[in-house]
Structure 1
Amino acid sequence: MVGVGLIGGSIGMALRDRGLVDEVVGVGRDMGSLEQARARGAIDRATTDMADGVSRADVVVVCTPVGRVAEDVRRAADAAPRGALITDAGSTKRAIVEAVDKLPRAAEMFVAAHPLAGSERSGSAFARADLYEGRVCVLTPSTRTAPDRLRRAREFWSSLGTRIIEMGPAEHDEVVAYTSHLPHALAASLAATVPADWLPLAAGAFRDGTRVAGADTELWTAIFRDNRGPLMNAVGKLQDRLSSLKYALMNDDEESIRRWWNDARARRSLFESQKFPEA
């Protein structure tokens, strides 16, 4: 496990809880944080040395920030057995896949993945073994992806309880710009729009609408930058939607306001009908 925060720690706990591995090795930069993850039950052994951590690995999961994933995949590929599977948990895929595809050894071993699970909280202290149960994991193979590694990636992520969906890296980034990155941007915008001295009057709608605005700043800065093109398009669509409400309000157009709300209500009902587990 390269990177043992919430995501990596939860993978480690799931693997150990399900008895799927003999040993989970955590690789990171800070031994103090790694020891906390070990005490939490997320890993069996900790090291800050990549080569030491992956030299006997069957599977390497890179759970570092998106800007570091490709380089960490390269380092892991150089040190891991040639037959190992390397996968990741990055929230964006196009740039990662393009970078790894330029590295023959790494491309041979790597299958890009994005488990759609997480929390506004960070760190192994909040990891849990059931985080991936019933969740979707998107695999984004490229033309360089080895068929046997893709099969093993399906098996690995399925073993954690996920449902597998496959699509291209660019398509993935466009979709999650709307379904994940835009909601985070909207939550942050809402949280920053309400004056601080009005917060005593904020209740459930504000709490629910801004929950993910408590997520790690550096993590989301990196994600927004890496997926800035699709996210800009998504922000534009949201602006159009808000503009239509503003225009209806300016004209006191009751029917347009009702239609505006009903469209959203129907889409929300469709989402609820899929019965996704709570984050």
Structure 2
Amino acid sequence: MERLGTVAVVGVGLIGGSIGMALRAGGLAREVVGVGRDMTRLDEARDLGAIDRGTVDLASGVSDAEVVVICTPVGRVAEDVRRAAELAPRSALVTDAGSTKRSIVEAVEKTPRAARMFVAAHPMAGSERSGAAHARADLYRDRVCILTPSATTPRAMVDRARAFWSALGCRIVEMGPAEHDEVVAFTSHLPHALAASLASAVPADWLPLAAGAFRDGTRVAGADTELWTAIFRENRGPLMNAVGKLQDRLSALKYALMTDDEESIRRWWDDARARRALFEARQPPGPNA
């Protein structure tokens, strides 16, 4: 990717801050502008090296941008995309980092100018921690970024989005918005739901006896409540399906325990062990996220 001029990052938390750090560390943009609601936090993001300058005025932040990246909560993404597309140059690429895609793409498609400029994206990287203080330049290195263009998204814009996210270190996968939401319901949203369920299932006075399995299995339960409430609501249909499949697996174990079926318990565990090994074998070297 040729060096960009101005890149505007709307929402400079962990995700947006890491985008800014990656751009600045790689010399990929002349200027990274952070757009947010709180100037104090934007100043902190600048001091951390996530942005070159910050503003609470969206029009000022995107007026000269070649690329605008929307990193706000999923419930706000579509409206922020439409507003940014209206205020940015017509030639700008607008992309996002939202964890759901179907409702965002459908909403943006209702505004022709925004639809021509927007390529929906979901970089599969993050942390249970939030805020620019936890951002890092290598967050996206060797992570998958899923692009979900619609049937009407200009191919030239998709190519620009591929180049942008690739420059941050991502491996690019394309799929439809609905397929994306079904996949991440199982691979991302369900594990978060399971971690939260496990964390709340253990009585508080037994926690001093919990060890590594509890710690590892509940790590992402420490993530932001409002963030995950919004994600679960946005993707509730696919997530309900995923929860049902998990309940089926737990019911199979419960029945095997009830009947003291040693062979069924063994097969139940071996199936999971083999799937975990397949996951490990397919993971590239790189930072944990």
So what's the TM-score if we normalise by structure 2? 0.96
For 1:14 and 1:103, locate their aligned partners in 2 and report how far apart those are by CA, in whole Å: 31
Q: CA deviation at 1:275?
A: 2.3
Shift in Å, 1:147: 1.0
Deviations 1:221-273 (A, max 9, x none): 00000000000000000000000000000011000000000000000000000
Where in structure 2 are the equivalents of 1:234-273 lying within 5 Å? 234-273=242-281
**Alpha-carbon distance in structure 1 between the residues aligned to 2:152 and 2:57:** 28
CA offset at residue 32 of structure 1? 1.0
**What's 2:78 paired with?**
70
Matched, 1:17 2:25: yes
Counterparts of 1:1-279 in structure 2, within 5 Å, are 1-276=9-284, 277=286, 278-279=288-289
Match of 2:65, SS state, is coil
| Letter paired with 2:179 | E
Deviations along 1:127-179, whole A, 9 cap, x unmatched? 00000000000000001211111110000000001000000000000000000
SS for the counterpart of 1:72 is helix
3-state DSSP class of the match of 1:67?
A: helix
**Normalising by structure 1, what TM-score?**
0.99
- Structure 1 gaps, min length 5: none
Residue identity matched to 2:265: I
Q: Distance in 2 between matches of 1:237 and 1:169?
A: 21
Q: What is the identity percentage for the equivalent residue pairs of Structure 1 and Structure 2?
A: 79
CA–CA distance in structure 2, aligned partners of residues 86 and 146 of structure 1: 12
CA distance in 2, matches of 1:75, 1:141: 19
**What is the CA-CA distance between 1:212 and the residue it aligns to?**
0.1
Gaps of 5+ in 2: 1-8
Q: Distance in 1 between matches of 2:183 and 2:122?
A: 12
| Larger fraction in strand | 2
Letter in 2 for 1:198: W
Distance 1:66 1:275 in 2: 27
Runs of 4+ in 1 over 3 A off after TM superposition: none
Structure 1 counterpart SS, 2:187: helix
One-letter code of the match for 1:65? P
Q: What is the distance in 2 between the residues matched to 1:36 and 1:214?
A: 23
Q: Size of the alignment, in residue pairs? A: 279
Q: Output the CA distance in 1 between the equivalents of 2:228 and 2:43.
A: 26
- Secondary structure of 2:54's counterpart equals strand
Compute the RMSD of aligned alpha carbons.
Answer: 0.5
